[in-house]
A and B are shown apart, each in its own frame.
Chain A
Amino acid sequence: MNWDIILSTTLKAAIGVETVWYALAAIGINIHFGYTGLLNFGQSAFLAVAGYGLAVTVTVIGLPFWIGIGVGLVAAVLLAFLLGIPTLRLRADYLAIVTIAAAEIVRLIFRSVEFKSVFGGSDGRRGFSQGFYEINPYAEGTYGFWPLSFNEREMWVLTVGWVLIAIACLIVFLLMKSPWGRVLKAIREDEDAVRSLGKNVFSYKMQSLILGGVLGCLGGFVYGLATGSVQPDIFGTETTFFAYTIVILGGAARVFGPVVGASIFWVLLVLVNGLLSGAVQSGVITFMDITQVGPFRFLLVGLGLILLLVYRPQGIFGDKRELAINAR
């Protein structure tokens, strides 16, 4: 087994691109689900419309990079309205069904043959990140130290990504300390009580949906810029479910929960992958081959999640007191 590579990839996963864009998606979910109690299972659609908004604007229409970012953000806001207006009056479980369906519709439109000339079908779009790397302040070379070293492109994506995470966390922190956040948390507990106290519940739920969607959609930009491409199947339902796993792992309704959760989630995935592949290659494990390692690690993640929910259901940052109350 190559311990150097396992150690290096694992450490890189803790702050890597995957962690960054999943953390952003999870911060959005945390606003929806953790603070407001909205079961939005369509988070991947927000990432998709942002990523495609940028990609199509730059590659198909030929407009500059920054306009593409603007188009992506506007698309996320529009999607929030589109999802919210018919569904936010529904009960929580209906919202879950409608959002998961809407996310699938968005994905299927992006990969459809009909719109292949615009969205590029199942291959997606590439070649839109030039404007982003043109303003890269890092000179060509390798940065960091062993085992954490990145090239200038990775450094630029990670710097921007972690700045975005920091800004998102600051916004969540400020808002959730404020009376605005108090209304959201109250809606999570009991909508009718909030209505009876003179608050426009629908408006607050919509604001929450937009905010979580916009912060989450930043993850779509980061993915697109880091890989230089967008494909429809990246933004499938499992992206949303991973983000939920991350929120629960870190602890719902905690400012840093999604960030730490994303970090741990990817460290575990990469570490298990490295250990298993190494064990298979060196003949320690004989009952599976290298292609089975990928699915098997998700099996272990599932097992880990079950154990987490049994022994520490409040997540890493959660408050056990809150959970005891919720169980009544």
Chain B
Amino acid sequence: MHAETATDRKAAALAAFKDLPHEPGVAKPDPILVVDNVVRRFGGLTAVDVGHVEVQRGSITALIGPNGAGKTTFFNQLTGFDTADSGEWTFNGRKMNGVPAHKVARAGMVRTFQLTKALSRLTVLENMRLGAQGQKGENFWRALIPGSWRGQEDRITARADELLARFKLDAKREDFAGSLSGGQRKLLEMARALMVEPELVMLDEPMAGVNPALTQSLLGHVKDLREQGMSVLFVEHDMDMVRDISDWVIVMAQGAVIAEGPPDTIMSDQRVIDAYLGAHHDAPLSESELEEQLHEAEDALEAEIQEESK
């Protein structure tokens, strides 16, 4: 039963992308996130300059690009952690530019971080509970009356335990998050993000610093998010992983979106190869250039011989 719905979701996601042209900024049938003209400059450097891009609902979309392409900066703009110089974007049709980070999260767009941010001196369970929204006990006056939030806290704890079991962290429930391994922290961060009950999960390099044994488990969890009806946008460097789990790939280079396409063909796209390897990396040298190099070498050799014979 579960397997069936899983393949359905994957098939549905792939079907949505089937006839799309492989152009940057292509319109998607049912976009959850629509971005227009987002620009972020740091002094003279334009870190992000994205014209138009859409993220399809219910799909796993990968955001790739060479180092310094502006992927994480772009993420920061979208999630309110940094202010864009200009541009606007909508999430579920709601305008999100200029919205502070905590309101972005409340709207259902939750991110994780490249360098995991486990809350070290809180237990794993407390980390999880923190993710729940609309907590009565987070109001100062109500916090003073335990009876007013106990019931809700119990429900939150039950949900947290469920998620911890799914992420195989239930044995670590009472341990400080700071005592977890790097991979376990990634798992915890993802599980904690799910406590927010997001619609769009944005993962910034979920596999960075995770040992290979845990990679498979993390991949499974990311796929699982789509099966549960969430949309995923993730930044990643590992192309094997991108090929394995993503339904659609957006490629950024030098701050701009340069190509989009399905994962199995995107790496053979000329624009992508150029961005990663340079535009003329495989162009043969011309006849005159070859000759010039030859002359230079000969001259150098001759000069050396003369030097020695002196």
Contacts and interface: CB of A to CB of B under 8 A. Distances in A.
Interface of A: 171, 174-175, 177-183, 185-186, 188-190, 192-201, 207, 211, 321-322, 325-326, 328
B149 A178 contact: yes
* CB-CB nearest 5 A-B residue pairs: A325-B178, A179-B137, A180-B143, A178-B143, A198-B105
A175 B143 contact: yes
Interface string B171-192: 0000010110000000000001
A147 B240 CA distance: 78
A179 B179 contact: no
B130 interface: yes
A132 to B, nearest CB: 27
Given A178-B146, A186-B130, A196 B110 contact: yes
10 contacts: A174-B143, A175-B140, A178-B137, A178-B143, A186-B122, A192-B117, A193-B118, A195-B81, A198-B103, A207-B140
B81 to A, nearest CB: 7
Question: Secondary structure of the A side of the interface?
Answer: helix
B119 to A, nearest CB: 4
B129 interface: yes
A299 to B, nearest CB: 33
Interface of B: 79, 81, 100-103, 105-106, 110-113, 117-122, 126-127, 129-131, 133, 135-140, 142-144, 146, 149, 153, 176, 178-179, 192-193, 195-196
A198 B179 contact: no
Given A177-B146, A197-B192, A182 B122 contact: yes
Contacts of B101: 192, 195-196
A183 B79 contact: no
Contact of B196 (A179, A198, A326): A198
B121 to A, nearest CB: 5
Contacts of A328: 120, 178
A325 B124 CA distance: 14
Chain B CB within 10 Å — which of A193, A194, A200, A328 has the most?
A193
A266 B103 CA distance: 47
Contact of B121 (A183, A201, A322): A322
A325 B137 contact: no
Given A179-B153, A185-B126, A186-B127, 20 more contacts: A174-B143, A174-B146, A178-B137, A178-B144, A179-B143, A180-B140, A181-B143, A186-B126, A188-B121, A189-B120, A192-B113, A193-B118, A195-B101, A196-B81, A196-B101, A196-B117, A197-B105, A198-B102, A207-B140, A325-B179
